[in-house]
Amino acid sequence: MRYVKWGFWALVAIFVALFLSYNLPRHDIVRVVGTEVRRVDFGENSMFWASADVGSASGTSRDVRFINTVRPNGKTLVFRNEDTGWGWPPYFKLDSSDLQAQAESLISTKADPIWVSITRYGWRSRWLTIFPNAVGLKQVSGPDVRIIPWANIIILTLLVLLILTIRAMWRQFRQRSIDPLFDDASEAWDGAEERANGWFNKLFGRKR
Amino acid sequence: MFGFVRLAIFGFIGLSVIFVLVRIYARSLRREALEDAWAEARSGDALYQTQEAYVAEGMRAYDKSLRRKLIWLVYVVPTVLVVAVIYLMNYT
């Protein structure tokens, strides 16, 4: 039972880590080498693409804006540039066209590079053909500039506070509303309750 | 526009659930604090009242308090956050 418990929590931890890794904003310092729009037919990777631009109809095939970039170490990094609109993740990005224009205005050559910091969420996977979604773009002085991830600091702090609050609420509820019920019941009930709660407590319970 | 309406409706439902839960939680905390205050009282009104009366009086005062009204921030803060994110993402 102990391994089941560990396994369960390990799975939860992995799932949460993947979820945060995909959805939280991150920064890449890159040089924009070009932008393009190309038609994409979504298949099994459709959940890694946003929906159609706000105000337009949705389908299984659509033109998507891309920003092609090169990192300081010479490796390429391709971003998609899609509206997130009112859906998930909640970036409320409605200005893909403007971002595309901004990216175009910052195209530079290897000889005379303009470095930009692209804020993005999502992963690049060649196997799934998925691209991180660029949500913001800012010119920076050089490839070594240090960027403090304020958004992540704030979001993660709020998340920890939220979890602690839920925990406190649950404990209060348990202490004030559930425990008194069992205190009143006769002793004959204790055995039955113990058995019924056994598997639940082993999975979620605190050590007594 | 449909997406916005959907967000507004589900957001409102979600926040309402949180609002009710927070209200119950805050009330429970206040009641517990009053019970403890009565049990530990060495002077004052609490000595001449039953615990029930003391707690009931305290809860009546709580129902009118600013603290309880502050729970409406559950609706206000996320809305302000969303507006702030929309502004930061699209207009700066």
Q: Return the bridge partners of A117, or none.
A: A29, A138
**Most A CBs within 10 Å, among B89, B91, B92, to test the A interface:** B89
- What is the tally of structural domains in chain A? 2
Same domain, yes or no: A140 and A199: no
**Residue A2 resides in a domain:** no
Q: Quote the crossing angle between the two packed helices B2-40 and A150-173, to the nearest 10°.
A: 50
And the tokens for A157? 């702090």
Same domain, yes or no: A89 and A170: no
Same domain, yes or no: A158 and A142: no
Domain that holds residue A193: 154-204
Bond from prior residue into A89 cis (ω within 30 degrees of 0):
yes
Going from N- to C-terminal start, the domains of chain B cover: 2-90
And the tokens for A109? 């050559």
User: Which of A147, A126, A57, A64 is closest to A99 using CA atoms?
Assistant: A64
| Pairwise CB contact (< 8 Å): B6 & A86 | yes
And the tokens for B15? 């926040």
Is residue A93 within 8 A of residue A79, CB to CB? The reply is no
Give residue-wise pLDDT tens across range B7-29. 999 999 999 999 999 999 999 99
d(CA A24, CA B81): 16
**Most B CBs within 10 Å, among A133, A135, A169, to test the B interface:** A169
A48 to chain B, closest Cα gap in Å: 18
**Residue A1 resides in a domain:** no
Q: How far is CA A26 from the centre of its chain?
A: 10
pLDDT band at B75 (very low <50, low <70, confident <90, very high): very high
pLDDT beyond 80 at A67: yes
Task: Report pTM.
Answer: 0.77
Q: Is A135 on the interface with B (CB under 8 A)?
A: yes
d(CA A175, CA A169): 10
CATH code where residue A103 lies: 2.40.50.140
Is residue B74 within 8 A of residue B20, CB to CB? The reply is no
The interface predicted TM-score of the complex, written ipTM, equals 0.81
The pLDDT value recorded for residue B54 is 87
Of A126, A147, A168, the last residue of a domain is A147
**Residue A131 resides in a domain:** yes
Is residue A39 within 8 A of residue A61, CB to CB? The reply is yes
CB contacts < 8 A (A, B): 41
Give residue-wise pLDDT tens across range A96-155. 999 999 999 999 999 999 999 999 999 999 888 899 999 999 999 988 888 899 999 999
Which residues of chain A make contact with B6, given a CB cutoff of 8 A? 86
Same domain, yes or no: A61 and A108: yes
Same domain, yes or no: A139 and A158: no
Give residue-wise pLDDT tens across range A1-56. 788 999 999 999 999 999 999 999 999 999 999 999 999 888 777 888 887 666 66
Of A147, A165, A189, the last residue of a domain is A147
d(CA A43, CA A87): 20
**Residue A115 resides in a domain:** yes
Same domain, yes or no: A86 and A54: yes
